[in-house]
Structure 1
Amino acid sequence: MERRTFLFAMSAAAFSGSLWQAAAPAWAGVSPYGPLGPPDANGMALPAGFTSRVVARTGQSVGGILWHPAPDGGACFANGTGWIYVSNSEVPLIGGASALRFRADGSIERAYRILNNTNINCAGGATPWNTWLSCEEIFRGRVYETDPYGVRSAQARSAMGRFKHEAAACDPDHQVIYLTEDESDGCLYRFRPNTWGDLSSGRLDVLCEGVVWRQVPDPSPGVFERQTRHQVSSALHFDGGEGCHYAAGVCYFTAKGDRKVWAYDAVAGTLSAIYAGGGTLDGVDNITGTRGGDLYVAEDGGNMEINIITPDRIVAPVMRLDGHGSSEITGPAFSPDGSRLYFSSQRGTSGETAGTGGVTYEVTGPFRR
C-alpha cells in the first residue's frame, strides 16, 4: 500500500482551534503589504514602507566573534528591553549555533557561541522556557538544547530520537514537541517528555495512517539497526521534511520534495496540505508565523523569496533577494514585538556553503501582528 500523505491532502475537516476556516489549499493573491519594489542597496526587493540591513556576514567580526558559515535555522528571544537572535551553522564537525544580542534601539550589543563542535546544525525550534533546540541534519543526528543567553551549557537530548533532524515546534497546549525529518521518506514525529520542560526523557511517536500516533520502539537505533522512520509499518512518509511551526492547535510543517505546506490539527486529528503549488511560493523550507495567524515560508532555491500565507489562504511574496540563485533563505524569525524579521541567505551570492558567503539580514516595517 502506498503510504504517501497526499491521501489526506484534501481533508474536508475544518481546522478547529485555529484561524484557518477550511482545509482548502492556499493560492496566489494580492499581498496585504502590496507589491515588491525594486531591489535596494542590499539586493532585496521589499514592499513600500519596509527597509533592510545586514547584521552579520560569515567570516566577518560582529559583536566580538566571527560570524559562522552557512547560517541556517533561527529564532528570537526577549532579553529585557532588547532581544536575541540565535542562528545555527549547517557545516560539519564545527557547526553549532551563535547568538546576536540586540539593544532596545536595534544596535548589536555583542555576539557569542551557544553550541560548538556539532554536525550540520540545520533548523530547530524555540521552547516556551526560552531555550533553543538545535537539530543535527545527519544520520542518527541529535537534538541539542541550548541557552540563548549564553549562561548554561548545551545538552544533547537523545530521547528525542536519533535521526536526520530538521526542525522542532513546541506545542504547550498538549505538552509535546513536533519534529521533522529531512529524508526522502522522512516522518513527522511527536516527542512527549515525561515532565514538560525537561527533555531528558520521554516518549517518541510517529504519525501514521489514519492520522494516529504510534510509539517508535527504539528512538536511538544503532547504525545497522532499523532506523526510526522504518520501525512502524503504518508510518506516513514525507519527501524531505523541513520547517515546523505550531500555533493555535495546529502544527504547520513543510516538505521540499512534496513542495507542500502541511497542517496537522492536533484538536480535530486531521492532516491537510494548505499549500500544494499554484502560487509564487517554490522550494518550501523554513517556516514561522505571527500571533495574528500569518505564516511566513522561506524558499530553498526558487527565486529566493519569503512568502506570506494569510489566514484567508492568500499566498504572496514579502521579500525577494536578487543575485543569490545558488543559496537558500534560512532562519526566518520575528523580534518579540513583531516589528523586525531576521533571516539569512545561507550561501549568499557566492554559493559556497563552507565559504564566506553567508549573510544574515534584518527587515523592519509595518508587519501584521
Structure 2
Amino acid sequence: MERRTFLRAAVAGGGSMAFGFTLWSEAVAYPAKTGPSPYGSLQSADANGIQLPQGFTSRVIARSTRTVPGTSYVWHGAPDGGACYADGTGWIYVSNAELGSAAGGASAIRFNSSGDVTGAYRILSGTNRNCAGGATPWKTWLSCEEVDRGYVYETDPYGVNPAVRQAAMGRFNHEAAACDPDRKVIYLTEDESDGCFYRFVPTTWGDLSRGTLQVLKEVGGALSWVNVPDPAGSSTRTRRQVSGAKVFNGGEGAYYRNGTCFFTTKGDNRVWAYNAVANTIAIAYDDNLTGNPPLTGVDNLTGATVGDLYVAEDGGNMEICVITPNDVVAPFLRITNQSSSEICGVAFNPAGNRLYFSSQRGTSGSSSGGITYEVTGPFRTSL
C-alpha cells in the first residue's frame, strides 16, 4: 500500500508522518500533481536553444572535448552528476564523466564572485562510468561508478587532495549519494531494475574509510535497516544478500533535506520520499498518478532553499521540472533540438541564484558532444 491510500491512512492514524519538503504535517497532497509553474510559462528558445521562464537567461559554460573558455583545461565527455561548493567569495562546480574503460572521473570549474570562470581542472581519473554522486558536509565530492561492483570515490573539489576509493561503502552499481548529517549516514541508490536503497553508517562521521553498509528492508509494510553481510558483493551481489530487501526499479538521483531523502527511480518514473525521522517511505511523484505528466525519464535532482525540488529528465522532452512544497509539478526549462541526450548534474551555486546542469550528449547525441550550462534569474526565495 504505497500510494495515496497509504498516505491518507498515515495522516488519519495520528499525523506521525511528515509530508512535503519542509516536514509540514498538514501537507497531505503527495504524490505531486500537474499544475502551473511558480515561474510562469516557458518562453521561446533563446540563442542556446533553451526555453526558460520570463526573466531567466542561460549561458554555455563548457563543451566536451573543448577547452573551457578562460582556461587551458579540456572539458570531459559525457558530463553527468554535479554539485557546487563555496570557494571564498566565489564557488566551484564539480561534474562527473560517465565514460567507460577507465576514461571516467570528475572535473571542476572555479568561478569568482561575479560568476566569471577563473580555472578548471581534473579531480578524479581512471575510473568507470562516473554517473551521479553527492556532496558531503565536509566539502568533498562522492563520485559513484555505475558499473557492476562499482566503487564510491571521495574527491576534493578544490583540487588539493588526491581522490580516495572508499571500499567500505560497498561495491554495486552505484548511482547517487545523499548525506544525512542529522543521523550521520549516507543514503545510496542503485541503478538496477531490482536495485535497493542503502545507507552507509560511518564509524566516525566525516571518515568514510570504515563503517557499516545497510539495506532498506520491508516486511508487512514495516521498514528496517539491515546490515549487508558482504558489502564487497564478492559472490552474491549486495541487493540479493538480505531477504525482504525493498526493491526499487532503477535508482537514480538522491537529495536530502530536513529529515527526508528524495530519490528517483527511472524504471517506474517515480520520485520517492524517505522520511528518516519516522522511518517511512512515500511516493512524491509518479507519472501514472497525474494527468498530462510533465516529468518523464526522472534522473538527477536537487533542491532550493525555499523547498522546491528540481528534477532533470533522461530523455522525455529534455526538461528540468520543478516540484513545489505544495506538491505541484511543472516544467522549469526545456532544451530544444537535443532529443538524443539527457539532462544531468543539476546544482545551485551557494547563493542559490545560478543553476548549473549538463546536456550529456548535446546536439550530436554522442559523449563528445556534452554541453554544460548555467541559468541565472529570479529564483524564488519565499513561497
- Per the shorter chain, which TM-score range? over 0.9
1:346 to 357, 360, 365: 360
Percent of aligned positions with the same letter in both sequences?
62
Verify the 8 A CA contact 1:133 1:144 in the aligned structure 2.
yes
| Match status 1:85 vs 2:93 | yes
Amino acid at match of 1:296: Y
**Offset at 1:233?**
1.0
Matches within 5 A, 1:272-351: 272-277=282-287, 278=290, 279-351=293-365
Amino acid at match of 2:97: S
Q: What does the per-residue CA deviation read over 1:160-184, in whole Å, with 9 as the maximum and x for residues that have no partner?
A: 0000000000000000000000001
Helix, strand or coil for the counterpart of 1:170?
Answer: strand
Matches within 5 A, 1:1-369: 7-10=1-4, 11-12=6-7, 13=10, 14-15=17-18, 18-20=22-24, 21-22=27-28, 24-62=30-68, 63-92=71-100, 93-209=102-218, 210-222=222-234, 225-277=235-287, 278=290, 279-353=293-367, 356-369=368-381
The alignment's C-alpha RMSD in Å is: 1.1
Distance change >3 Å, CA 246–CA 170, structure 1 → 2: same
Verify the 8 A CA contact 2:270 2:286 in the aligned structure 1.
yes
Q: Count how many residue pairs are aligned between Structure 1 and Structure 2.
A: 359
Q: In 2, distance between residues paired with 1:94 and 1:357?
A: 16
Verify the 8 A CA contact 1:19 1:293 in the aligned structure 2.
no
Q: In 1, distance between residues paired with 2:3 and 2:170?
A: 27
Q: What does the per-residue CA deviation read over 1:48-104, in whole Å, with 9 as the maximum and x for residues that have no partner?
A: 000000000001101221000000000000000000000000001110000000011
Q: In 2, distance between residues paired with 1:19 and 1:213?
A: 22
Taking structure 1 as the reference length, the TM-score comes to 0.96
**Offset at 1:23?**
5.7
Amino acid at match of 2:124: L
Q: In 1, distance between residues paired with 2:125 and 2:255?
A: 25
Verify the 8 A CA contact 2:29 2:326 in the aligned structure 1.
no
Q: In 1, distance between residues paired with 2:216 and 2:29?
A: 19
Verify the 8 A CA contact 2:29 2:327 in the aligned structure 1.
no
Q: In 2, distance between residues paired with 1:307 and 1:211?
A: 30
Taking structure 2 as the reference length, the TM-score comes to 0.92
Where structure 1 has 5 or more consecutive residues not aligned to the other structure, the ranges are 1-6
Q: In 2, distance between residues paired with 1:18 and 1:159?
A: 32
Helix, strand or coil for the counterpart of 2:126?
Answer: coil
Alignment correspondent of 2:13: none
Helix, strand or coil for the counterpart of 1:84?
Answer: strand
Q: What does the per-residue CA deviation read over 1:18-57, in whole Å, with 9 as the maximum and x for residues that have no partner?
A: 3452262101111010000000000000000000000000
**Offset at 1:269?**
1.3
Q: In 1, distance between residues paired with 2:142 and 2:192?
A: 19
Runs of 4+ in 1 over 4 A off after TM superposition: none
Q: In 1, distance between residues paired with 2:237 and 2:157?
A: 31
Alignment correspondent of 1:4: none
Verify the 8 A CA contact 2:348 2:354 in the aligned structure 1.
yes
Q: In 1, distance between residues paired with 2:128 and 2:28?
A: 40
Amino acid at match of 2:48: N
Q: In 2, distance between residues paired with 1:241 and 1:61?
A: 33
Verify the 8 A CA contact 1:23 1:272 in the aligned structure 2.
no
Where structure 2 has 5 or more consecutive residues not aligned to the other structure, the ranges are 11-16
Q: In 1, distance between residues paired with 2:64 and 2:256?
A: 30
Q: In 1, distance between residues paired with 2:265 and 2:72?
A: 37
Verify the 8 A CA contact 2:338 2:363 in the aligned structure 1.
yes
Verify the 8 A CA contact 1:143 1:157 in the aligned structure 2.
yes
Q: In 1, distance between residues paired with 2:47 and 2:29?
A: 40
Q: In 2, distance between residues paired with 1:232 and 1:311?
A: 35
Verify the 8 A CA contact 1:19 1:311 in the aligned structure 2.
no
Verify the 8 A CA contact 1:23 1:273 in the aligned structure 2.
no
Helix, strand or coil for the counterpart of 1:332?
Answer: strand
